[in-house]
Chains A and B, each alone.
Chain A
Amino acid sequence: MSLNAPKPAGRADQTLSLNMKLLSHHGLAGFGGMGEGMAMQQTRDGRRIMWMAHESAPKNFTGVDVTDPRAPKLVVQTELPHMQVRSNSLDVVGDIMVVAYQTKTVNLKPAGIDIFDISTPEKPKLISHFDCSGPYSRGVHCVWFVDGKTVHIASGAPDFQPRNPLDDQFYRIIDISNPAKPVETGRWWYPGTREGDAAPAPARLPAPFDMGFRTHNTNVYPERPDRAYIGYIDGGAIVLDISDQSHIKVASQWNHSPPFNGFTHTVLPLFKRDLWVVSDECVMDDGKDWPKLVWMVDARNEANPVPIGTFPMPPPDVFTKRGGRFGAHNLHENLPLPLSFQSDTIVVCTFFNGGVRVYDTSNPYQVQEVAYFVPGAPTMSPSGAIQLNDVYVDERQIVYTMDRFGGGLYVLEMNI
């Protein structure tokens, strides 16, 4: 190959794939910039609706009928009240949907969660709003809601003043057994991050990687209702003992940074195998925060989690030049729900311009990539490349993934 010829995989217009086939693509009516909230509803009339939170205003969330994955149909798309708020995250159990609201700056509204009745998907009905706004709060970045009564959130609060404004979101448990009256039942923040804490403030990562000691994903599974698996951004992977919600304690803590560049995003436990899959989030374009990886962690001894490997990545010399971000982000999180794919060996991840990738972790010391799909750049994408942001796999093993800027929803079939 001549020295200056672009490598085919490095050309952002090229669609790349291995063992994955595009079944359909939906541009979401021109508003295809999507966040990291995807959930599936089985309606009473037998339809399957994929609910997706948008990355940014003006749109709030979109519902698409994916009963036939080859012919997705837009069912509903809603508006945010103003341009300074984003929804980003949502979850669905039965006919109840929880949506996050995070504002661009502190002290704005709405900053909290909305609870909707979506029994008629065309007309989501607001049941209640749980307000998390405050002088130091931007509201809620992420929600986790899988048991029909508890919402685990990464959120600020009216009474929470962080020492460093980057540490404004912490872990909160909200009981919505009565969806009309949500109440907080527990909270935990990284010691030393709140004004008045006895603990010293944690040491920051060096610039430009100082992104905050705050909560990102907050996963709780029925296998271990007493544990919350938390990606705590620069605080690493933290597993909390939540058996007593008024006295939440740390059960495990593992942080690869420094020397790595922080931003722990998701901690996905593989229960039958005592493993965690931990993903970072890439937050800088053109490989400036490389490497952002997916890690395999041996969690047999929860007091001493040990990293045993990372997932193989496509070549950074090719992908960091493809445009936009390249690195790990969301995983399919084995939601304990009937319409969610659940596997202790197959892990599906999004990597922004690296597309969506499927891994076989049967041998945790040598994880294998078994499939991938990297869509060609969506038209008018500001980064000039695909930026796959989140992924959901249904129990039929159909993969749904969405772009951060403009590309909308891609529906794929795995051949693994």
Chain B
Amino acid sequence: MRDPLSGKLPVTLITGFLGSGKTTLISRLLKHPDMKRVAVVINEIGEIGIDPDLVTMSSENVSLLANGCLCCTVRTDLQETLRELFGQRRAGQIADFDRVIVETTGLADPAPVVQTLVSDTMLAAQYRLDGVVTLVDAVNGAALLEQQPEAKKQIALADRILITKSDLSNEAAITVLREAIHAVNPQADSRIVLMGVIEPSELTGLGLASARAGAGTLRFLGEALDGSSESGERYLRERTGSRHDPAINTLSLRFDTRFTWETFSAAMELLTTLRGPDMLRVKGIVNVDGKAVVVQGVQHIFHPPVELDRWPSADTGTRLVFITRNIRAETIRGLFAAVSAVTANT
């Protein structure tokens, strides 16, 4: 049988605080020799400043660069642009590409882009969201995180965080920033990037790439599987945010009963309907009628559930990690219990 994920083109979203150096990063990236067969979608080609000598072929909105990278500007909206990219590729009008990097200039909130990728059926058939990379600058990042809810959301949605301009800051300030980031999103790894110098491979391999329970899938599930040594209904972990935001919590929940998909999705829908904005992320493995199903969501947006070909280990318990704002683990557990009880009686 086909793997429902592996044949799809991975899409990485690059987002970042204002002035965090996205333009520098993208313009460096476009010249990188390893960017062959990557399509980069940007808002405004003028901002990036591509040397015309490097452009080997060009259509209305797509330029093929000398290193084999496709640079594509958004025409109407991102949805339309991604559809066109795929269509033009199929028609042999543009060079082939194996992955897409989208720069979300001017978008403070990447959630709608994520929503587009998972809800547009044509896009979802050809692409999969690999992950969100967020740039934070070391000089202003900590202050923005304190002051702006959008900034906090960008951190919460990120799979990887790139700390820029560390040369203009100091070690103590970077440590404080890292702590602040960790408090909001303990799952994302953060790394330092100077002058936009980055390997393209650092922007990829962030998401679930296969429904096979191999090494990559385990790496993706990460913390969600960490609770496997603990068992029983008593297993419950709640880690509150640091002094930066005591309202943001990381909750690890375990359920040892099987769910039907109906029960599980009804409970999640109820939770996101009532508290969508406060459900920053959820990721985990769910026992649906005995099968291992990976779920992941950002706020009210859920990726299509992926049934793994097997359980990664002997542990067949449901394990979920939530990052929430002002929601307690007992609340979620209570809601699942209530929904299970209601659906059991139907």
Contact = CB atoms under 8 A, between A and B. Distances in A.
A224 B2 CA distance: 26
Given A8-B64, A345-B1, A315 B7 contact: no
B42 to A, nearest CB: 19
A14 B94 CA distance: 11
B96 A1 contact: no
B3 A1 contact: no
Interface string B1-41: 11100110000000000000000000000000000000000
A9 interface: yes
Contact of B92 (A5, A17, A314, A362): A314
A16 B93 CA distance: 12
Contacts of B57: 1, 5, 8
Interface in B57-103: 57-60, 64, 90-96, 98
Contacts of B59: 1
Contacts of A17: 96, 98
Interface residues of B, number: 18
A8 B6 contact: no
A192 interface: no
Given A1-B59, A1-B60, A370-B2, A7 B93 contact: yes
Interface size on A, as a range, is 20 to 34
A18 B93 contact: no
A319 interface: yes
A18 B96 contact: yes
Given A5-B57, A8-B57, A360-B2, A416 B7 contact: yes
Interface in A1-29: 1, 5, 7-10, 14, 16-19
A10 B91 CA distance: 10
A371 interface: yes
A16 B96 contact: yes
B2 to A, nearest CB: 5
Contact of A8 (B3, B60, B93, B98): B93
B257 to A, nearest CB: 33
Nearest to A18: B96
Contacts of A183: none
Contacts of A7: 92-93
Interface string B212-235: 000000000000000000000000
Contacts of B3: 416
Interface of A: 1, 5, 7-10, 14, 16-19, 314-315, 318-319, 345-346, 360, 362, 370-371, 415-416
The 7 closest A-B pairs by CB, nearest first: A9-B92, A318-B92, A1-B59, A8-B95, A19-B7, A416-B7, A415-B6
